[in-house]
């Protein structure tokens, strides 16, 4: 079958949807907060693309639909199971304790997802710091590390990496990114420790006295969900580390989805309502993700096809170029479709030299292509790390902000937060550009 050419106009619904996701929370926040209105926007913009897909190749929708189901099954299982784990306690709010919270989050984010790690740790961190007045910087660094940069090491960590896994990137390939993960997270932890050491000196004697006397040791409720989380990790890896001679890949995909659904139902069955109430658990966030990504997965079909054919003409080259362009868009748009978009651009550039070498439905071909693995590294790091640049760069960012606000921490505005990210993150990313990326 000859390649499907795509008129640029068919990319408009995808671009408009991403623009809505970026702008409407700021321009019409009250209207946008209702998931029904998000669904209306997603449906209206998806309708013309569905018509185009059915006229060209219906298999494109079937492929996108399978990826969407697997994507939501993973996020939903992590969200529900982590919501059944309540971490209680009020420790001493010292720089060492706070940095330990962030370091633990940096590790577990890659295994239970940035959303799961954020929801698990943000409340005990806020309770630990409830007697202190200078707390904003702690939440900002939490977003940097736990909600974003920590999730680089496995496909479970961040949505773009999971989409890459669904497109054929081996489960353990992201472990190649340990130097980038360690370098940025260790640098952020050191900066935070110095910052918090200075901030604690500004606290009043009364605040420090209360912090010392109001102490409760860490206590975990709903611990059985930790076993279920391990089950999700094993389920996602299943089929990549084990090969079945006569297994149908689609049957393995459905098997993983069913197992994750069973683990999710098990979590709902064994976890008391009291635990989820203490966690302020609600279905709203995952419904929001499901609604918006339904629109994203549909509308990005022609965009990805267009980039497969014409991406070679875009003025982007080398690891540094792909890192910054992917990262810049991931700062303001959703980093998952941005990741796939630039994987398509990388494939197009390689195929322009050696036609047909890379198949975007199987990104393992990109890894094996000359120079392809270097580009995928840059795309992966840019999409994950630079999601931390704004509140809207990654899903957990705004959720953490909302929880902090409701706990009495006056978080900075959209652009106020960006002052932190520009001052702290951008210099680190410049360092990555020249120390790690060679072209």
pLDDT exceeds cutoff 90 at 340: no
Structure tokens at 164: 């890459």
Distance from C-alpha of 66 to C-alpha of 68, rounded to nearest angstrom: 5
pLDDT-derived band at 4, boundaries 50, 70, 90: low
Query: Which residue, among 393, 347, 372, 351, has the nearest Cα to 158 in the 3D structure?
Result: 393
Q: pLDDT over 90 for what percent of the chain?
A: 41
CA dihedral 380, 385, 386, 389 (to 10 degrees): 160
Helices 284-310, 59-82: axis angle to 10 degrees equals 140
**Out of 98-107, 108-117, 235-244, 253-262, which region has the weakest mean confidence (pLDDT)?**
235-244
Scanning the structure block, which residue is given the tokens 């619904």? 13
3-class secondary structure for 372-417? HHHHHHHHHHHHHHHHHHCCCCCHHHHHHHHHHHHCCCCCCCHHHH
Q: Which residues pair with 220 in a beta bridge?
A: 87
pLDDT-derived band at 381, boundaries 50, 70, 90: very high
Tell me the C-alpha to C-alpha distance, in Å, between residue 434 and each of 29, 175, 187, 312, 323: 39, 21, 16, 24, 12
The reported pLDDT for the residue numbered 248 is 58
H or E stretch covering 133: none
- Kindly report the length of the chain: 439
pTM of the model: 0.80
pLDDT exceeds cutoff 50 at 188: yes
Query: Which residue, among 97, 156, 147, has the nearest Cα to 285 in the 3D structure?
Result: 147
| Chain segment 402-428, per-residue pLDDT in tens | 788 878 888 888 788 999 999 999 999
When computed from its CA atoms, the radius of gyration of the chain, rounded to whole angstroms, is 22
Distance from C-alpha of 335 to C-alpha of 355, rounded to nearest angstrom: 28
- The structural domains of the chain, with segments of one domain joined by +, span 9-435
Scanning the structure block, which residue is given the tokens 């479709």? 337
The reported pLDDT for the residue numbered 249 is 60
Q: Identify the DSSP state of 2.
A: P
């Amino acid at each position: 079958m000859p390649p499907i050419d795509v008129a640029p106009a068919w990319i408009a619904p995808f671009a408009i949807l991403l623009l809505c996701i970026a702008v409407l929370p700021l321009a019409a926040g009250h209207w946008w907060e209702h998931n029904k209105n998000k669904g209306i926007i997603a449906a209206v913009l998806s309708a013309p693309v569905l018509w185009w897909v059915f006229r060209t190749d219906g298999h494109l929708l079937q492929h996108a639909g399978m990826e969407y189901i697997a994507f939501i099954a993973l996020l939903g299982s992590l969200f529900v199971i982590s919501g059944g784990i309540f971490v209680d306690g009020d420790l001493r709010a010292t720089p060492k304790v706070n940095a330990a919270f962030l370091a633990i989050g940096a590790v577990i984010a890659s295994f239970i997802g940035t959303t799961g790690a954020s929801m698990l740790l943000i409340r005990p961190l806020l309770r630990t710091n409830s007697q202190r007045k200078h707390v904003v910087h702690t939440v900002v660094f939490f977003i940097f590390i736990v909600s974003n940069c920590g999730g680089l090491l496995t496909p479970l960590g961040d949505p773009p990496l999971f989409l890459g896994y669904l497109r054929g990137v081996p489960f353990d390939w992201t472990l190649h990114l340990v130097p980038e993960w360690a370098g940025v997270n260790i640098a952020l932890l050191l900066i935070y420790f110095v910052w918090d050491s200075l901030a604690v000196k500004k606290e009043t004697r009364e605040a420090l006295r209360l912090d010392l006397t109001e102490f409760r040791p860490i206590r975990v409720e709903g611990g059985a969900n930790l076993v279920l989380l391990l089950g999700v990790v094993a389920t996602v890896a299943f089929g990549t580390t084990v090969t079945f001679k006569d297994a149908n890949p689609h049957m393995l995909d459905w098997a993983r989805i069913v197992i994750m659904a069973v683990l999710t139902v098990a979590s709902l069955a064994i976890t008391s309502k009291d635990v989820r109430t203490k966690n302020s658990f609600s279905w709203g966030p995952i419904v929001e993700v499901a609604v918006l990504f339904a629109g994203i997965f549909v509308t990005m079909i022609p965009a990805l096809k267009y980039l497969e054919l014409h991406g070679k003409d875009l003025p982007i080259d080398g690891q540094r170029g792909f890192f910054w362009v992917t990262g810049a868009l991931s700062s303001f748009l959703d980093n998952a479709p941005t990741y796939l978009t630039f994987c398509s651009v990388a494939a197009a550039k390689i195929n322009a030299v050696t036609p047909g070498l890379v198949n975007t439905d199987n990104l393992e071909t990109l890894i094996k292509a000359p120079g392809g693995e270097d580009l995928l590294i840059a795309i992966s790091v840019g999409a994950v790390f630079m999601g931390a640049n704004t509140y809207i760069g990654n899903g957990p960012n705004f959720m953490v902000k909302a929880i902090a606000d409701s706990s009495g921490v006056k978080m900075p505005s959209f652009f106020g937060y960006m002052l932190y990210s520009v001052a702290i993150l951008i210099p680190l990313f410049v360092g990555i550009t020249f120390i790690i990326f060679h072209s």
